[in-house]
Structure 1
């Protein structure tokens, strides 16, 4: 977790809140507001808490988890500057039952490619946990990278991200091991002024594709509702959409 602790200092520069994504998440859970009061959301892998706090400002009751202590600390410090109250916990994705009861959430969202940090069987385990935590007809919102595009086009990475102030850049490279069916995700955070590497990391990611994610959701007693190919809600296209976004409702 050392990389993420270092990366957290520049996290909001690299991944600022995307207003389109925020609206898409809000629209996914908005209809629940018409049927229930005090809609409770769980943010899984919240990073520095930007989306959790923004959704709390929209009237949701939000709880959020992340495994990195520095991310949680930064998220909690943001509460002092906004009119929102979120409970942040340092917690792993597979340990949700340590803090949350069955049928205690109306909605769960896991964004930013967090889900594929888990192994193949762990993804199934997490989705089953999510279903257990959700109330009847609760919803889940999942955003990951479109790995079908990566595999079919044999891509070796994702576009470099430059911070808005141009002070840092985030390079993202992929090395796919077909035998293991694992992607080695190699990243570098670089000071853009002097090309100094601030931090670098390599982590294994499971290349979860749309058909398998849908099957896993259905196995966990979800019904897939919508599929998008961008935070703006564009149609998903297998070979051109960079993200894969799915929403599903618990049966």
Structure 2
């Protein structure tokens, strides 16, 4: 039997807890930003990679957008579907792996927010695969908006980061929806803005902007200092 990855363990039986996390309170304002980035065009199709319990997908659908969302976690997708039905929405939610899906030239916008699976896998080749899959899913004039954990922030504030690999090994205790506690060993990869830009250029993106990423306050910031846990990346063909 193949042992589950740490992030698979983390999201098992965690959908209710997930929806109580502090970072979910910024969803509406984050979608305000996304809407502005797409000129409020309701004719486009949007793919939400690593959608979790569907918070961004559902908010977009409420505003009239055509959205498809997927996540590796069955538990998270089940919760997303429950929330979708409760809101009388029609969203296609799938259980899929960001490293292995086959949408091609179908979407005008791909979102990978709150890391959306990116960097959690802990292997550069798989992270490259995630970016490659997102690129392939986009139409020729598509846009990608993603957030990724910032190496600059970690170098400033985290003594445990490996400066050669830009990785960190750590442990944390998860409390699931039934109150059970489990110690999980994790590995996180952090990214420099320059390497994200390089990888996306290799995939054919010609305009790539990187900014600070404040939860609930996504914005294009002049002279970004990269002093937030995540960076916000906006890439266009």
Answering whether residue 200 of structure 2 is matched by residue 217 of structure 1, we say yes
1:16 to 9, 24, 30: 24
User: 1:17, 1:51 within 8 Å by CA — same for their partners in 2?
Assistant: no
Q: Deviation above 6 Å: which 4+ runs of structure 1?
A: none
**Equivalent position of 1:240 in the other structure:** 227
**Equivalent position of 1:136 in the other structure:** 140
Answering whether residue 131 of structure 2 is matched by residue 123 of structure 1, we say no
The 2-side partners of 1:214 and 1:116 are apart by: 15
Equivalent residues in 2 for 1:41-120, closer than 5 Å: 41-97=46-102, 100=103, 102-113=104-115, 114-118=117-121, 119-120=123-124
User: 1:65, 1:89 within 8 Å by CA — same for their partners in 2?
Assistant: yes
The 2-side partners of 1:241 and 1:179 are apart by: 21
Match of 1:136, SS state, is: strand
Size of the aligned set, in residue pairs, is 220
Seen in structure 2, the aligned counterparts of structure 1 residues 39 and 52 have a Cα distance that, compared at 3 Å, is: same
Seen in structure 2, the aligned counterparts of structure 1 residues 197 and 22 have a Cα distance that, compared at 3 Å, is: same
**Equivalent position of 1:6 in the other structure:** 13
Seen in structure 2, the aligned counterparts of structure 1 residues 21 and 182 have a Cα distance that, compared at 3 Å, is: same
**Equivalent position of 1:28 in the other structure:** 37
User: 2:211, 2:233 within 8 Å by CA — same for their partners in 1?
Assistant: yes
| 1:8 Cα deviation after fit | 2.3
User: 1:189, 1:200 within 8 Å by CA — same for their partners in 2?
Assistant: yes
**Equivalent position of 1:169 in the other structure:** none
| 1:234 Cα deviation after fit | 5.6
- TM-score, reference length from structure 1: 0.79
2:158 to 155, 168, 181: 155
Match of 1:213, SS state, is: helix
The 1-side partners of 2:220 and 2:73 are apart by: 32
Structure 2: state its 5+ residue gaps: 1-7
Match of 1:54, SS state, is: helix
The 2-side partners of 1:28 and 1:188 are apart by: 37
The 2-side partners of 1:187 and 1:223 are apart by: 39
- Measured on the aligned residues, the alpha-carbon RMSD in Å equals 2.3
User: 1:28, 1:141 within 8 Å by CA — same for their partners in 2?
Assistant: no
- TM-score, reference length from structure 2: 0.83
